[in-house]
Each structure stands twice: as C-alpha cells, then as structure tokens.
Amino acid sequence: MSEAEIVLKAENLRKRYGEHEVLRGISFEVGRGETKIMCGPSGSGKSTALRCLNLLTTPDEGRVWLEGTDVTAPSTDINKIRQKIGFVFQEFNLFNHLNALKNVSIGLEKVRKIGKDEARKIALEQLRRVGLEEHAEKYPAELSGGQKQRVAVARALAMSPVIVFYDEPTSALDPHLIGEVLEVMKELAREKMTSLVVTHEMGFAQSVGDEMMFMVDGRIVERGTPRELISHPQYEVTKSFFERIQELYGSER
C-alpha cells in the first residue's frame, strides 16, 4: 500500500493505567476505502485503541498519522483532526434536548461554522442516507435504539470524515434492532467509506471486512481476512473466542 493510499497509520501505541498496560505496542494501517475490523475479548484494549487514535485518550507512547499528518505531534491542532474522524459510540451520545435533525446539524453549525440553512440541508441528506428522513423532527426519547444509532451514524457522516470509527455500535441494541444498523454500515462499506470497526458481529465482518485484527491483552495477535481468521485461526485463544461468539450470537448477522 502506497503512502497516498494510507488514511490512518498507528505505530507502537501503548497505554497504561497504573500497573495495567491496556495497549502493548499495536501497529496497523487503514487504506482508503477499506473496512478494517478489530475484535477480541472484553478488556483486550479495542475501545482504548480507538480513543487513542484521535487523542480522546492520550497514548503513553507511539504515533498516529491521519492522511500523513502526525496526529500525536504537539504542534498538531487535534480539533481539526477530529473533524476528519467520525466516531459512532456504543451508547449513541445524542443530545436528548435536540431533535434528530438538530443532533446531526449542530456539529456543522458549531464546529464547521456552516450556516443554518446549509447545515439543515446536509443533515436532511444524511438522515435520508440512513433511512430516517421522516423522523427528522423526533427527539431521542421518541426513537428506538436502532434509530438513535442511525442518527449517530448520520451525525458522523455529516462532517464529511475521511474515516469513521465504530465502537461496538450494536452492543447496546436489542437483538431485533441490530440488523437495521448493520445494513446501514454494510451500505457505507459498499460505498467505500473508510472505516475502523470494533464489533462482535462476525456475519457483518465476513460480508464487508477487508481485514480483521484479533486483540488479546493489548496486543494484535492475529490478522487476516475475516473469513481466514474465523475459519483457520492460528492460536487456541483465537479459536476459543470465535467458538464462543458463534455460541452466543450465531453467524447470520
């Protein structure tokens, strides 16, 4: 992969909380148009890795580049960098006092300084993209979990990011609502939206993932295409994890 094709690059990221080393030197790249999957047991460092990549959590060591800019350099304006990174969280993180349209448009108005009319137009386009245009005036309390998460996806897309991070975006949803969020994510993957996805949804991973990284105890221990990794893991810990996921969730999604 040439430098021009690399959207995100992490090198030797480390993070420690007291005596507990959460990240133990992880390195990887995400190419333009690629959907990269990160999976592993709870506590393996996946969410911390995402947060370190845009400095929501400051890594103790290592460097991160976004489209060639050193994110971790002291001189870098991290707020400008974050505008280029969409982030979809487990718990939606919507503003309860704002309707869906305003939840999507507020970042455009406050951060990118776009006028209200233009911001509203962009927000409606993104709500249409995730199938929620008719719910634009509804508040989060009036929406299902799946609809809230789709609003969160629309909010991330509205900022025209160069990459979107998903931190287990379906883990807080009731099982019957998961599919609607995964379908939106699959469509974005087909559109070649560059994405880094932390998920246990192995059916989704196999259908759109270009590469999967398996993490244990703060390290990436295996990587390959999702089908390769799930079908032929090298290590017993990886095999046991996928067997457990199969038991808990099945492979349909």
pLDDT tens-digit profile of 142-182?
999 999 999 999 999 999 999 999 999 999 899 899 999 99
pLDDT at 251: 52
The number of folded domains in the chain is 2
Position 250 confidence tier, pLDDT thresholds 50, 70, 90: low
Which residue, of 107, 128, 160, is where some domain finishes? 160
Residue at a domain's end among 119, 144, 160: 160
160, 192, 214: which is the final residue of a domain?
Answer: 160
Instruction: Output Rg (C-alpha) for the chain, integer angstroms.
Output: 18
Q: Which residue has the tokens 């929501």?
A: 56
Domain enclosing residue 149, as ranges: 96-160
State pTM to two decimals. Answer: 0.94
Average pLDDT of the residues in 224-234: 94
Instruction: Say which residues have a Cβ less than 8 Å from residue 55's Cβ, sequence separation at least 6.
Output: 64, 71, 72, 78, 81, 82
Phi/psi region, residue 67 (left: phi>0; alpha: psi -120 to 50; beta: rest), is: left
Report residue 100 as tokens: 């869906």
In a domain, 231, yes or no: yes
Q: Are residues 177 and 241 in the same domain?
A: yes
DSSP 99: -
The rounded percent of the chain whose pLDDT value lies above 70 is: 98
